[in-house]
Amino acid sequence: MENTINLSLLDGVLSEYAEVKGSLITILQHTQEIYGYLPKEAIELISEKTGIATSDIMGVGTFYTQFRFEPVGKYLIMLCQGTACHVNSSELILQTIQDELGIDDGQTTEDGLFSLKCVACLGCCSLSPVMMINEDTYGSLTPDKTKKILKELREAAL
């Protein structure tokens, strides 16, 4: 999955925001939308265009949980571990995902299909326990329902 980074994809974002003060987080968000993570080459280019030192960019990037520095899988599972989900046994769902995929929080499966990230609340607490996979939210999860969802996604990707 080694691919070179096409930095020209950043042209639009940088021409819109590089000169606007206070836009670093916005630029990083757009960058992550494009590449799925923050590649080193992109950070260097952002530094060059905005005049913000790479160390400062890394300081901001590592502070916020949204930002990643490694590519993620085709399906990014955001599993809620907020209070309501905790009370409704989200721990069991975490266990199920770990057993099914063999990955922990922050890891990606070897086939590059799934990444897992635990988050604090997706705002759908009345359907707890909840997870979001890419753009779709799945609620009222049980271990069986979770297995089924993972299986369907794996089949869809084949």
Partner 1 sequence: MRIVIGQGSCGIAAGAEKVRKALLNVDVRCDISITGCIGMCYLEPIVDIYDDNNTLTRLVKVSETDAQAIADYVNNGDKSAVEKLIVTEEDSQFLTKQTRIALRNCGIINPEEITAYTATGGYDALKKALGMTPEEVIDIIKVSGLAGRGGAGFPTWFKWNAARQSAGEEKYLICNADEGDPGAFMDRAVIESDPHNLIEGMLIGAYAIGAKHAVVYVRAEYPLAIKRLKNAILQATEAGIIGENIFGSNFSCDFMIKAGAGAFVCGEETALIESLEGHRGMPRLKPPFPAQSGFWRKPSNINNVETFANVAWIINNGGEAFAAMGTEGSKGTKVFAVTGKVKRSGLVEIPMGKTLRDVIFDIGGGMKTDKPFKAVQMGGPSGGCIPADLIDTVIDYKALGATGAIMGSGGMVVMDESTCMVGMAKFFLDFTAKESCGKCIHCRIGTKRMLEMLERITNGDGKEGDIELLEELCYSEYEAHIHDKKCPAGECSALIEYTINADKCRGCTLCARNCPVGAITGTVKNPHVIDTDKCIKCGKCYSVCRFDAVVKA
Burial (0-12, 13-18, 19+ Cβ within 10 Å), 105? middle
Q: Which is nearer to ligand FES, 130 or 149 (CB)?
A: 130
What is residue 69's three-state secondary structure? coil
Least distance from C-beta 79 to ligand FES, angstroms?
9
Least distance from C-beta 120 to ligand FES, angstroms?
7
Picked from ligand FES, partner 1, none, the partner binding residue 24 (CB below 5 to 8 A depending on kind) is partner 1
52 Cβ neighbours under 8 A, 6+ residues apart: 24, 46
What is residue 50's three-state secondary structure? helix
Least distance from C-beta 37 to partner 1, angstroms?
14
Binding site for partner 1 (CB under 8 A): 21-26, 28-29, 59-60, 63-67, 78, 82-88, 119-128, 130, 135-140
Binding site for ligand FES (CB under 6 A): 80, 82-85, 121-125, 128, 130
Q: Is the peptide bond before 143 cis (omega within 30 degrees of 0)?
A: no
Q: Which is nearer to ligand FES, 97 or 122 (CB)?
A: 122
What tokens does 109 get?
Answer: 């499966």
